[in-house]
């Protein structure tokens, strides 16, 4: 392996659009449907609109951070500079929680799609995804982002085609149910964690900042174009799928992570050529997110290892490809182990909880940097500051409350079977392990670094 060098700058706005959309587009294919039985179709749409507002406000705020401090560490780099080493640790933990556990959730969905069409055992398909796309990420960023661009474009095309095929079969009665919002505010609140799945991972674009040719100009273009694309796709998916399937059908018992093929099978028949085509193309959406999040995760792990927050060997670059090979391999191994549990809903919860915590820490970092470093060069300034960041922070705190409110642990439930599927106790346990590592290993190393080295880690 080579030393801890610099990543190659090859990314342009079109690549950033592909990464932004690709990271998230799998959320249109599965995951969100678990929220429909909790709030009903209208409640799920309302919850998604609230989440959309939060992400719009957050991305405009987050872009200021990612252009002012273009570092592959992303949230960790911003929080460390704004809040110190412990703030960096909290951001790093949140990011790893999201980016390590989202891929196995998506891998399980890939397995379900393969099972739906080819009868491949779902777990075999999930493990195969890690092996194949881990290798693609190791070969090189140029190949990886070109691949991401192609599969993202195909996935977006597939969703538009899906809208045209299902739109003539929409039934208003499937969407406008009685009651209009199941369980009222409680149902809406319970649906929020699943609505986040439509946009979860979008902040991962910032983790490729060191590989962007002109980050100060290109990152805002990629983020904004990606966000607008995702809003249209999310609303179209919600309306078309809920308009075809009933609430009882939205989470099928046989392949719960494949609602779109089930919707097409209902309106066209399962053996219709277009249904087959949609399954094939649907895999591109899952693959785009799976591959993109793997790439973002490896860059985060690379940056954390380079800054002594993780073992140093994970910052080593491949001598030929110049990619952080161990930062790809180690999270992939953890992901395979998580996928083998088969607990898709739990993994979605862990990733969502990490994402919300990441948003909160990042927004606090934005406010802290505005106060501590008013002279910091900010090529992109968050519009309507401080209104948009405050709206994003308040909604992110609301989402955190929704996660906590849904936890059996915090309601005093002691049933081991229920707690095993609850992301909150798992998150607390992982945080305890990570905190012990930080206090015993990371903090002494960081304390010994000179001030200029600490600053260099975030520049």
Residue 2 φ then ψ, to 5°? -85, 180
Higher pLDDT, 445 or 164: 164
Those residues whose C-beta lies under 8 Å from the C-beta of residue 399, and which sit 6 or more positions away, are 51, 54, 192, 193, 196, 356
Is 65 inside a domain boundary? yes
**Longest CA–CA separation in the chain, Å:** 66
The mean predicted confidence, pLDDT, of the chain is 84
Read off the pLDDT of each residue in 220-247 and give the average, rounded to a whole number: 90
- Per-residue pLDDT, averaged over 164-193, amounts to 90
- Give 95-116 pLDDT, tens digit per residue: 999 989 999 988 988 888 788 7
Is residue 436, in this structure, part of any structural domain at all? yes
Which of 7, 26, 105, 108 lies closest to 292 in space, CA to CA? 26
Average pLDDT over residues 81-92: 92
The pLDDT of residue 447 is 62
Q: Is the peptide bond before 223 cis (omega within 30 degrees of 0)?
A: no
In a domain, 241, yes or no: yes
Q: What is the pLDDT of residues 322-364, one digit of tens each?
A: 778 899 999 999 999 999 988 888 888 899 899 999 999 999 9
CATH number at residue 292: 1.20.1740.10
7 within some domain: no
Is pLDDT above 90 for 452? no
Would residue 8 count as lying in a domain?
Answer: no
Q: What is the mean pLDDT of residues 136-160?
A: 78
pLDDT at 454: 45
pLDDT band at 163 (very low <50, low <70, confident <90, very high): very high
Tokens of 439: 């206090």
Tell me the mean pLDDT in the region 166-170. Answer: 91
Higher per-residue confidence, 255 vs 175: 175
Question: Is the residue at 356 inside a domain?
Answer: yes
Quick one: what percent of the chain has pLDDT higher than 90?
31
Confidence at 209, pLDDT banded by 50, 70, 90: low
Q: How large is the average pLDDT for residues 243-272?
A: 80
Q: Angle between the 13-24 and 141-166 helix axes, to the nearest 10 degrees?
A: 60
Tell me what the mean pLDDT of segment 147-171 comes to.
87
pLDDT for 47 equals 94
* Cis geometry, peptide bond prior to residue 434 (ω within 30 degrees of 0): no
Tally of domains in the chain: 1
Query: CA dist 108 to 21, 125, 132, 294, 342, Å?
Result: 20, 8, 15, 15, 7
Q: Which structural domain range is residue 339 located in?
A: 13-456
Is there a domain that residue 180 lies in? yes
pLDDT digits (tens, 9 = 90+) for 36-55: 999 999 999 999 999 999 99
**Looking at the domain assignment, is residue 92 inside a domain?**
yes
241: which residues sit within 8 A by CB, 6+ positions away? 33, 166, 250, 259, 260, 263
pLDDT higher than threshold 50 for residue 87:
yes
């Amino acid at each position: 392996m080579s030393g801890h060098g610099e990543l190659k700058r090859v990314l342009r706005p079109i690549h950033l659009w592909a990464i932004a959309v690709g990271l998230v587009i799998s959320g249109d294919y599965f995951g969100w449907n678990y929220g429909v039985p909790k709030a009903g179709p209208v409640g799920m749409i309302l919850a998604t609109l609230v989440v959309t507002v939060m992400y719009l406000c957050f991305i405009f705020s987050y872009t200021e951070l990612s252009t002012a401090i273009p570092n592959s560490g992303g949230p960790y780099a911003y929080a460390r500079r704004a809040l110190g080493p412990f703030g960096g640790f909290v951001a790093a933990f949140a990011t790893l929680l999201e980016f390590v556990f989202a891929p196995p959730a998506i891998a399980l969905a890939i397995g379900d799609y393969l099972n739906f069409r080819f009868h491949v055992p779902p777990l075999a398909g999930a493990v195969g995804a890690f092996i194949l796309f881990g290798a693609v990420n190791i070969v090189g960023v140029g190949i990886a982002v070109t691949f991401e661009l192609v599969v993202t474009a195909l996935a977006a095309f597939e969703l538009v085609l899906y809208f045209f095929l299902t739109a003539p079969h929409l039934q208003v009665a499937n969407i406008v149910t009685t009651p209009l919002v199941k369980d009222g505010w409680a149902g809406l609140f319970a649906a929020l964690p699943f609505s986040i799945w439509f946009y979860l991972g979008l902040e991962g674009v910032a983790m490729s900042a060191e590989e962007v040719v002109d980050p100060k100009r290109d990152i805002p273009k990629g983020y904004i174009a990606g966000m607008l694309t995702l809003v249209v796709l999310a609303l179209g998916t919600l309306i078309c799928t809920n308009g075809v399937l009933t609430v009882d059908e939205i989470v099928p018992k046989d392949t719960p992570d494949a609602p779109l093929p089930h919707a097409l099978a209902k309106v066209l028949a399962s053996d219709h050529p277009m249904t087959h085509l949609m399954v094939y193309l649907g895999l591109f959406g899952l693959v785009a997110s799976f591959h993109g999040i793997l790439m973002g995760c490896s860059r985060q792990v690379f940056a954390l290892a380079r800054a002594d927050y993780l073992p140093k060997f994970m910052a080593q670059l491949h001598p030929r490809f110049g990619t952080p090979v161990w930062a790809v391999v180690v999270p992939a191994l953890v992901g395979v182990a998580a996928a083998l549990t088969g607990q898709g809903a739990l993994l979605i919860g862990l990733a969502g909880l990490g994402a919300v915590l990441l948003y909160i820490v990042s927004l606090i970092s934005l406010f802290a940097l505005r106060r501590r470093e008013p002279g910091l060069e900010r090529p992109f300034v968050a519009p309507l500051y401080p209104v948009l960041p405050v709206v994003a922070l308040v909604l992110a705190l609301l989402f955190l409350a929704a996660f906590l409110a849904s936890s059996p642990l915090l309601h005093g439930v002691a049933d081991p079977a229920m707690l095993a599927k609850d992301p909150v106790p798992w998150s607390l346990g992982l945080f305890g392990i990570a905190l012990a590592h930080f206090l015993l290993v990371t903090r002494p190393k960081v304390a010994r670094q000179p001030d200029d080295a600490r600053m260099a880690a975030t520049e």
